[in-house]
Amino acid sequence: MKQKFLFSLLSSFLLISSLSAQSENDTTTADVKSRSSITPPTIGLGAGLISFYGDLRDYEYGNPFVGNPVYEFYVHQPILDYLSINLYYMFGKMRVEERRIERNLNFESTIRSSGLSLEYNFGNFINPKRSFSPFITAGIEMLEFNSKTDILNSSGSAYNYWSDGTIRNLPENSPGAEFAVEIQRDYIYETDIREARFDGRGLYPERSLGIPIGIGGNLKITNQINFRLASTFHFTFTDMIDGVDRNSLERVGSDRANANNDYFLATTVSLTYNFRKVDTEPDYDDEVIDFYAYDPSDYDEDGVIDFIDKCPNTPLGVEVDTLGCPIDSDGDGLADYLDEEVNSLGTTVNAKGVYLTDAMIYESYLKYSDTSGEFADVVSKNFTGNTALKSRFRINVGAYKVGDQPENIESLLNLPDLITEMQDSMVIYSVGNLNDLKDVVKRKAELANQGLSPTIEEKTTNSNYINAGERVNELKPEGIPTSELENSDKVVFRVQLGAFKTQPDMKFFKNTSNLIVLESGGLFRYYSGAFDNFQEAAEHKVKMAVRGFEGSFVTPFKGGEKVTLQSVGVKSIQQSPLIGN
């Protein structure tokens, strides 16, 4: 029965191999060429456990993970992508102890086997780049064994197994059994089973052919090192490894041996190393890659997909090159759509792409090395923390002690660009914040035309303002008649945020536009904004109310005086409790 099963299994394996080989022959010519070269071999060294299945302990099934140590060495030679030849050598010891009422037998045998097997790894069905590769294997081997048994102790006395479980120096049914003494086994297998000629048997051969059939798997660790687990049944053509066969009568008692040949199972783990050359990374320089197959999206719609777009946020409609970056015709580093001089004479340009002439470079140097303030861009920041304003000049329209209200306060509030600044114990009222002296002179003339006494001041390098001098203050605006200068008939709408007995923390007014603080009569009055129409002022008032200034209201100034909303054309229907009066 077992021989029929073995024959069927081997036939099935050979059939699968032939079908796979036929399928391999039908592959492309390129694959055939790639296999025309000889693949270098793989060597392996492993260890494991060997379990015996024979006449001894036939009433129990052996555990494949419990047994005696076994070692193996093999050379693995691929012949196809899915089929290999293994040449191996294995050695180890098998030991079996059977202790029961019917019989008490034992043996120890040194096993050596070498053989040749075919290994099929399903490579024509599963991914060739797999990390784990299962396999099945079958072959033929030559087996050699040398079996011995332990039937004598160190004193040469035979072991007599009594029914009470003891071992004594006399048989249990012998005439002098009452004088028998208990002895212990020494587990030294001193008696050669073949040389003992049990059952009158002659010297039988201690070698046999075998058929190894197994399964297992290879786990890839590196390109050249694998971890291998295999479990192989070795079906032999001998029944004498344990020294007992179907014809044995001596030592077996009433329990006869089975009718099968002996076989064993070897379960091993090993490390393998292959000698094939490890391929380097392929050179893709000449390979044409279809980037659209990966991701065809084009975020900035410039015609260059995001996968290769080096400037993925180009503004819509701007002409780009093949890499998706805006065209720079003159190569000055500034794209044409930002360049104020598309065809510059050279690459030495300013931030706007304009070519820097010698005169421009010289002026830049003077500004860099300036210590007089002539070329400096002075920055002024008011006490509210608003964004800084570039200025070199300002026009002082009054300086008063803290707590003193200017007599012409309403005239000052009629100025849309009025700024107040706390300096020591003084409040400075100024307008202008200009950088061009011509504009400063014109603005000063307008203020003088409104009845004020303006004085032009210039900012020094230490950020302090000083009188610009009589020469500057005596300048007149060129080419502008006095009749065309702005006068006080213009209406300025401001929003009064509130009047407070104690000055609030200035953080509540942070980022409040055109903030003016007046202190008089024990009250601090805060004004915000300067608008030339009521609608914008009303919207600003609503914003201030939403921010928490619920008592704020719109106040107009005209002709240097505070006036009513009705007097400047604001209809009653436009007003509401939310806006004010």
Looking at the predicted structure, is the pLDDT value of residue 282 above 60? no
Please compute the mean of the pLDDT values over residues 526-555 and round it to a whole number: 85
Per-residue pLDDT, 273: 93
Looking at the predicted structure, is the pLDDT value of residue 74 above 80? yes
Distance separating alpha carbons of residues 498 and 546, to the nearest angstrom: 14
Confidence band for 300, pLDDT divided at 50, 70 and 90: confident
Instruction: Give the amino acid at 400.
Output: Y
Domains of the chain listed by start with CATH number: 45-149+208-274 (2.40.160.20), 285-327 (no CATH), 396-574 (3.30.70.1070)
Confidence band for 363, pLDDT divided at 50, 70 and 90: low
Q: Which of 131, 86, 123, 119 is nearest to 223 (CA)?
A: 131
Confidence band for 24, pLDDT divided at 50, 70 and 90: very low
> Cβ(76)–Cβ(272) under 8 Å?
yes
The number of angstroms, rounded, from the C-alpha of 398 to the middle of its chain's C-alpha atoms is 65
Per-residue pLDDT, 533: 87
Distance separating alpha carbons of residues 579 and 48, to the nearest angstrom: 95
Confidence band for 575, pLDDT divided at 50, 70 and 90: low
pLDDT digit string, tens, across residues 534-546: 888 888 888 888 8
Confidence band for 34, pLDDT divided at 50, 70 and 90: very low
Looking at the predicted structure, is the pLDDT value of residue 163 above 80? yes
Looking at the predicted structure, is the pLDDT value of residue 64 above 70? no
Please compute the mean of the pLDDT values over residues 308-330 and round it to a whole number: 86
End-to-end Cα separation, the chain, in angstroms: 116
437, containing H or E segment: helix 437-449
Instruction: Identify which of 95-109, 245-259, 269-283, 547-561 has the greatest average pLDDT.
Output: 95-109
User: For residues 541 and 21, which has the higher predicted lDDT (pLDDT)?
Assistant: 541
Q: Are strands 132-149 and 191-192 parallel, antiparallel or unpaired?
A: antiparallel
Per-residue pLDDT, 91: 95
Per-residue pLDDT, 345: 73
Looking at the predicted structure, is the pLDDT value of residue 17 above 50? no
CB proximity list for 510: less than 8 A, separation 6 or greater = 384, 385
Of the chain, the percentage scoring pLDDT greater than 70 comes to: 79
Distance separating alpha carbons of residues 127 and 160, to the nearest angstrom: 62
> Cβ(300)–Cβ(248) under 8 Å?
no
Looking at the predicted structure, is the pLDDT value of residue 409 above 50? yes
Distance separating alpha carbons of residues 557 and 529, to the nearest angstrom: 12
Per-residue pLDDT, 151: 92
Q: Are strands 42-53 and 389-390 parallel, antiparallel or unpaired?
A: unpaired
DSSP 8-state assignment for residue 182 = B
Helix (H/G/I), strand (E/B), else coil: 414: coil
Distance separating alpha carbons of residues 398 and 409, to the nearest angstrom: 10
Looking at the predicted structure, is the pLDDT value of residue 77 above 50? yes
409, containing H or E segment: helix 409-413
Q: What would the two tokens of residue 445 be?
A: 């003339």
Distance separating alpha carbons of residues 174 and 152, to the nearest angstrom: 18
Q: What is the mean pLDDT of the chain?
A: 79
Which of 67-73's residues contact partners 24+ apart within 8 Å by CB, and which partners? 67/94, 67/265, 68/92, 68/93, 68/94, 68/95, 69/93, 70/111, 70/266, 70/268, 71/46, 71/47, 72/44, 72/45, 72/46, 72/47, 72/48, 72/266, 72/268, 72/270, 73/43, 73/44, 73/45, 73/46
Distance separating alpha carbons of residues 335 and 382, to the nearest angstrom: 37
Distance separating alpha carbons of residues 76 and 270, to the nearest angstrom: 13
Confidence band for 389, pLDDT divided at 50, 70 and 90: very low
pLDDT digit string, tens, across residues 476-518: 887 666 665 666 678 888 888 888 888 787 777 777 777 887 7
Per-residue pLDDT, 63: 61
Please compute the mean of the pLDDT values over residues 331-336 and round it to a whole number: 82
Give the CA distances from residue 157 to residues 75, 108, 376, in Å, rounded to whole numbers and listed in that order.
48, 20, 120
Q: Which of 448, 559, 44 is nearest to 269 (CA)?
A: 44
Of the candidate ranges 185-189, 518-522, 552-556, the one whose mean pLDDT is the lowest? 518-522
479 Ramachandran zone, left/alpha/beta (phi>0; psi -120 to 50): left
Confidence band for 9, pLDDT divided at 50, 70 and 90: very low
Per-residue pLDDT, 382: 44
Tokens 């409104």 sit at which residue? 450
pTM over 0.75, yes/no: no
Per-residue pLDDT, 578: 47
Confidence band for 32, pLDDT divided at 50, 70 and 90: very low
Number of other residues whose CB lies within 10 A of the CB of residue 371: 8
User: For residues 41 and 346, which has the higher predicted lDDT (pLDDT)?
Assistant: 41
Per-residue pLDDT, 296: 79
User: For residues 546 and 240, which has the higher predicted lDDT (pLDDT)?
Assistant: 240
Looking at the predicted structure, is the pLDDT value of residue 14 above 60? no
Looking at the predicted structure, is the pLDDT value of residue 378 above 80? no
Per-residue pLDDT, 28: 39
Per-residue pLDDT, 571: 76
Looking at the predicted structure, is the pLDDT value of residue 298 above 90? no
Q: Which of 479, 481, 410, 417 is nearest to 451 (CA)?
A: 410
Confidence band for 341, pLDDT divided at 50, 70 and 90: confident
Side by side, which strands form the sheet with 561-562?
516-520, 523-531, 492-500, 553-558, 561-562
Per-residue pLDDT, 279: 59
Q: Which of 194, 205, 248, 261 is nearest to 54 (CA)?
A: 261
Looking at the predicted structure, is the pLDDT value of residue 354 above 50? yes
> Cβ(493)–Cβ(435) under 8 Å?
no
Instruction: Identify which of 98-107, 140-149, 295-304, 361-370 has the greatest average pLDDT.
Output: 140-149
Per-residue pLDDT, 190: 92
Looking at the predicted structure, is the pLDDT value of residue 375 above 90? no
